[in-house]
Structure 1
């Protein structure tokens, strides 16, 4: 298939999806921590 011929495209798509998922999860976790009265996770 076309995807098999372009593994770098697949990797780029997966990386972008992972980046977006991390950003979304971080926002949700911040809301949960705030709601529970927990301090923000140190960086």
Structure 2
């Protein structure tokens, strides 16, 4: 997911349910972590 989040950005959604994505808290991609904001992630 950290390589594909840009596809969702133009929708400006308040809530997105994304199946099989990386935990934003564990990624090294700062832009993805910033975009994810305050995620509720379950693994």
TM-score, structure 2 length as denominator?
0.19
Quick one: higher RCO (CA 8 Å, sep 6+), 1 or 2?
Answer: 2
More helix by share: 1
